[in-house]
């Protein structure tokens, strides 16, 4: 079920609210898709796009927050099904999708040591056509600003939808079961850095906070994130 966040932006849950993608409607009514979920998520995404009156040929851009398989696992299929030519990711993660590999893990903590013992997760490879940089504004849906928030991965980005004052945190902050938390350290390349770079959110103007893991916070998003960071001693 597609959930409207604000004008021209919808949350598309691919595994309940535990894994989310986002659809932004461009001025010409085409779609920019943010993240593609796990392998097999394409059917769910296409159904939810249909619920807002959009179809595969409406998707013209895919923006990926980082190269973990719960964000890029469904990308290759969506690219094929939709005929997408513009696939974007931060330059620091952009070399991974063509190999189908995920980023390294922080093994300085116990969870990371355990994670390194597990088989590496992979996904169907695909090409990145545009490498993004911090501060870049993607000309889509009233402007989508790239916020480089490394630590979860080297090229992890959050996105600020300027028109609706909506922040998409990516995996910088989770909101699982409507409770803000950090990502598990074992899934980060640098756990401490992933926390420190979340401070960037305090310098942004937004009212809605959206998460790739968990439901959105409307209107009071910035104040709620500020409270979370203060509680964690980040500022």
Average pLDDT per 10 consecutive residues for the chain, totaling 235 residues:
96 97 96 97 97 97 98 98 97 98 77 63 94 97 97 98 98 95 92 96 98 97 97 88
Q: What is the pLDDT of residue 110?
A: 61
Q: How far apart are CA 142 and CA 74, in angstroms?
A: 26
The label of the residue with tokens 């074992």 reads: 186
Edge-to-edge strand list for the sheet holding 59-63: 3-6, 9-15, 19-25, 31-34, 59-63, 86-90, 130-132
DSSP string over 130-191 = EEE-TT-EESSTT-EEEEE-TTSSTT-EEEEETTTTEEE-TTSSB-GGG--BPPPGGG-S-H
Q: How far apart are CA 194 and CA 187, in angstroms?
A: 11
Report in angstroms the alpha-carbon separations of 49 from 21, 30, 32, 116.
11, 11, 11, 37
Residues in CB range of 16: below 8 A, 6 or more apart: none
Q: How far apart are CA 126 and CA 128, in angstroms?
A: 7
Q: What is the pLDDT of residue 116?
A: 64
Q: How far apart are CA 227 and CA 150, in angstroms?
A: 21
How many residues does the structure list for the chain? 235
Predicted TM-score (pTM) above 0.75 = yes
Q: What is the pLDDT of residue 184?
A: 87
C-alpha triplet 196, 199, 205: angle, nearest 5° = 160
| CATH, domain 3-99+106-231, list 3.60.15.10, 3.40.50.720, 1.20.58.1030, 3.40.190.10 | 3.60.15.10
Q: How far apart are CA 90 and CA 87, in angstroms?
A: 11
Phi, psi of 205 (to 5 degrees): -100, 110
Q: What is the pLDDT of residue 114?
A: 61
Are 89 and 97 in contact by the 8 Å Cβ rule? The answer is yes
């Amino acid at each position: 079920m597609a959930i409207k966040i604000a004008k021209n932006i919808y949350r598309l849950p691919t595994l309940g609210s535990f894994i989310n993608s986002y659809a932004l409607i461009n001025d010409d009514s085409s779609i920019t898709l943010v993240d593609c979920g796990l392998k097999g998520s394409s059917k769910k995404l296409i159904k939810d796009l249909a619920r807002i009156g959009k179809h595969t040929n409406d998707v013209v851009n895919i923006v990926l927050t980082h190269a973990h398989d719960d964000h890029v696992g469904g990308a290759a299929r969506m690219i094929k099904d939709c005929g997408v030519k513009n696939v974007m990711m931060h330059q620091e993660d952009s070399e991974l999708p063509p190999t189908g590999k995920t980023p390294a893990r922080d093994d300085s903590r116990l969870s990371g040591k355990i994670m390194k013992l597990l088989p590496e997760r992979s996904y169907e490879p695909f090409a990145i056509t545009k490498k993004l940089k911090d501060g870049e504004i993607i000309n889509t849906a009233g402007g989508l600003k790239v916020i480089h928030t490394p630590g979860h991965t080297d090229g992890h980005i959050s996105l600020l939808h300027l028109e609706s004052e909506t922040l998409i945190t990516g995996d910088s902050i989770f909101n699982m079961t409507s409770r803000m938390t950090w990502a598990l350290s074992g899934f980060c390349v640098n756990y401490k850095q992933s926390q420190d770079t979340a401070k960037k959110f305090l310098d942004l103007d937004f009212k809605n906070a959206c998460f790739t893991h968990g439901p959105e916070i409307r209107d009071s998003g910035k104040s709620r994130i500020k409270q979370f960071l203060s509680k964690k001693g980040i500022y």
